[in-house]
Amino acid sequence: DPLTIVILSPHDPMTRGQLRRMAELARDEGVTVRWEEARGGALAGLASFSSLAGTLRRAGALVIGDPFSRYVQLLLAALPARASRAITVVDDGTATMEFVTQLAQGERFVRWHRKGKGGIAARAHALAFAPVSRRARRRLTPRKGRTVEVFSAMPVEPPPQVTIKANDFSWTRARFGPPRVKQGADLVGTSLVETGVVDTDHYLEAVTSLARAHGATRYFAHRRESSEKLHQISAATGLEIVRPDLPLELVARRGPVGHTILSFPSTVVHTLPLALQGTPVTVVVCDVDPAWLTHTASPRAQGFLAGVTGTARGVRRLTREVTHPA
């Protein structure tokens, strides 16, 4: 059957730009792509919901990119409870690890860095949305006539009756590269400061220390990093700030790429070794010191970040002296 990809466009300009480029690649592969401004206000959201609901009800198979999205949950909740269909969740990010755990434990789908945050209005909104979230979770639970699969490069233990299909990035390797590998190192940025998990000053100190110790020349910014923070990094380190227009796995595979790629705990410590398989590039992961965490960080922060690092395969972990500047 023909495949149609529906993009629920986000507000963030950098993410929108990357999705536009990915849509071009999908069309090049013969896939139909629909761009929906579902988050452009109440009227736009209602129009998108109305146009998509019927299409989703008729679909024999659904592939979902972000089960934590409330809009996606709303669409799932609108599906008939007894409909027979195959559902695949695709999310090669750390969110996959949380999704599988929360699905197995019957928990509400909430990202680790958002738990316990928000004021009275945010909590009231979450309470009002809870019935929708529960229905969406039931739609993602396997039953007779409904199979659920997770397609991911992340190390996860599936709940009963949920199958895992490993993403080995074979399409990425076949489509791009191999890259030209240059001397020196590239440093991958993170949005842990922007999400309120890591203190800005500690992060800047860590980046400066890593860049100096490894001869890094470029800093690949996370799409959600603020311009102000990136300016501080550039001024303090002299690193060239690169805002990728495609996911980093594709950018690295196309090259040029540093002989060493440094990263804090994130998705890329799991995905880059797969995307760069067969090249001499070494991916190095840098732990987050508990002292870097803000006082408002989730109590789960340190354990979750340590889990992301500890389960990464095909990477090298830095010694404590290098990753924890004084």
Going residue by residue through the chain (326 aa), what tens digit of pLDDT does each one get?
Answer: 688 999 999 888 899 999 999 999 999 999 999 999 887 777 777 888 888 888 888 888 899 998 988 888 988 888 887 667 889 999 778 888 888 888 888 888 887 666 555 567 667 777 788 888 888 888 888 888 888 999 999 988 888 889 999 999 999 999 998 999 999 999 999 999 999 999 999 999 999 999 999 999 999 999 999 999 999 999 999 999 999 999 999 999 999 999 999 999 999 999 999 999 999 999 999 999 999 999 999 888 899 899 999 999 999 998 655 555 54
**Residue in the structure block whose two tokens are 């466009």:** 9
Q: Do residues 312 and 270 lie in contact, with contact meaning Cβ atoms separated by under 8 Å?
A: yes
Question: Of 265, 262, 266, 200, whose CA–CA distance to 233 is shortest?
Answer: 200
Same domain, 49 and 144: yes
- Please state whether the predicted TM-score (pTM) of the whole model is above 0.75: yes
Say if residues 184 and 217 touch (Cβ distance below 8 Å). Answer: yes
Same domain, 205 and 137: no
Q: Are 18 and 247 in contact (CB under 8 A)?
A: yes
Report whether 13 contacts 43 (CB < 8 A).
Answer: no
How high is the pLDDT of residue 32? Answer: 94
Among 155, 171, 187, identify where a domain stops.
Answer: 171
Tokens read off for 238: 């002299």
Amino acid letter for position 130: A
The CATH number that applies at residue 230 is: 3.40.50
Tell whether 11 and 148 lie within a shared domain: yes
- pLDDT at 115 (0 to 100): 54
- pLDDT for res 113: 62
d(C-alpha 253, C-alpha 273), whole Å: 11
For residues 44 and 141, membership in a common domain is answered with yes
List, in sequence order, the alpha helices (H) in 218-323.
227-237, 248-254, 268-275, 301-310, 320-323
Domain-ending residue, one of 139, 171, 203:
171
Residues 49 and 15 in one domain: yes
* Domain shared by 100 and 183, yes or no: no
Write the single-letter amino acid at 237.
T
Do 191 and 155 have their domain in common?
no
Q: Does residue 96 share a domain with residue 76?
A: yes
The answer to whether residues 47 and 79 belong to one domain is: yes
* Cross-strand bridge partners of residue 262: 187, 284
